[in-house]
Structure 1
């Protein structure tokens, strides 16, 4: 091949190599995205936390209900004794009256406590419901995004294989020594070993190669 033909092949090869670089970067980006959504992981963590807090709140409510039930039962039993007329001893009667008063005060406190924990449990339930909806929406979005990423990955892989075949075909047209020199230049010149010259000006660098080198196609940046 003539010098200009070799240069044309090298330029085509470089165009393919630049596209290969782009596709490799795209494949890496897709692989990273397929590892999962940071937003989805955050929402899952928030959902798990909300569920645990709700379960804890519900357990506290049950314990408060059990405590109130216990106080109510004790108060009922002691009031029954107090009003049955079976206790004749004045001191014992006075002690029983005091115990009933204490149980009524305890009952009042326990009822207030139960109302508080019920309000807390209801707020935790609403929070958990919001987190559930947000997570479900994010998972549905991720499902669609994941499907699109899978399609993009397949397309990128096919494109990559096509480019590799094209590169191999072009590489076979030039000598091994020239190919090695070209690849070395690409590594040291940000991927560009060959440049077009338009109106005696290099496309990729602020250089003005001499007319003879432009005419013969031997200029490389």
Structure 2
């Protein structure tokens, strides 16, 4: 292809030189040479033909390059087809293995979904159990606190009642001493045995008096004590 292009270029150059020689005016003769106009027209036509020929050669080079690329693609395609045809069994087994792996992955995904559901259910059960245990502990703590408050209230009531009994005992003892002092002042005689004995600390059991208790007053007294204790 390159040799043919060189031959064509040489022929074109010779034609151009011939046309230039015929178109150049002579220095000695100013008279128009016969056939000069034809040579000029032919030279212009040769220039046009030369330009078009160069364009054709360039386009032919591009076509040749495209053909080479297409040939390379065909060769690669043939090689790939030969490779596929020679390894069709291996490719088929690879497809089978890929399908098996895909099925296994789908099974694993289903198992994971079931496991997620079971874990969610277990988590909800554990949360509910912990909430129930916490509520039971809180209820038990509340009951213990209420029982503690009740015991403390009862203890305060008993303490108040005990303090009131002691206060009444002290009042009765003071009244007894006053009564004895009044008797001594009025000259009431005691027996010699009673005088020789040491009176010691007096209690309510030592008082030999007839006392008529007012039930209404006692009930009001104890009710007021209980309300103060609460």
TM range (shorter): 0.3 to 0.5
Q: Radius of gyration: which is bigger?
A: 2
Instruction: Output the TM-score relative to the length of structure 1.
Output: 0.39
